Amino acid sequence: MREQTFSEHLDELRKRLLWSLASVGVGVLGAFFIRDWLLRVIERPHRFAMKSIHLDSNLYVFRYEETFFVQLKIWLIKNFIFGDS
């Protein structure tokens, strides 16, 4: 294996970062299509716990953008746990 120059190392890093970003993007896009199922899976323990102590199990949104960011975090977590989709 030959030694690479500094610019070759930077080029290799750029390629790997772009592939990684594309991979995360594809995973997030895949999770977008199963977002309702993912949200039901994630909120199931919450609903069980709240009903067992006889409290309201509804989830509430306090800020306008919160719904989008919660879904985005779910998609990213799905991508990191299950890998590329």
- 28-49 pLDDT, tens digit per residue, is 888 888 888 888 888 899 899 9
For residue 44, tell me if it sits in a domain.
yes
* Report field, pTM of the whole predicted structure over 0.75: no
Q: Print the domain residue range for 62.
A: 25-82
Quick check: 83 and 27 in contact, CB under 8 A?
yes
For residue 48, tell me if it sits in a domain.
yes
Looking at the structure of the chain, the number of domains it has is: 1
Measure the CA–CA gap between 48 and 44, rounded to whole angstroms: 6
Give per-residue pLDDT as tens, 38-81: 888 888 998 999 999 999 988 888 888 888 888 888 888 877 77
Given this model, what pLDDT does residue 49 score?
A: 92
| C-alpha distances out from residue 2 to 7, 8, 10, Å | 14, 11, 16
For residue 36, tell me if it sits in a domain.
yes
Given this model, what pLDDT does residue 38 score?
A: 83
For residue 11, tell me if it sits in a domain.
no
Q: Where are the alpha helices (DSSP H) in 1-85?
A: 6-33, 35-52, 66-82
Quick check: 67 and 16 in contact, CB under 8 A?
no
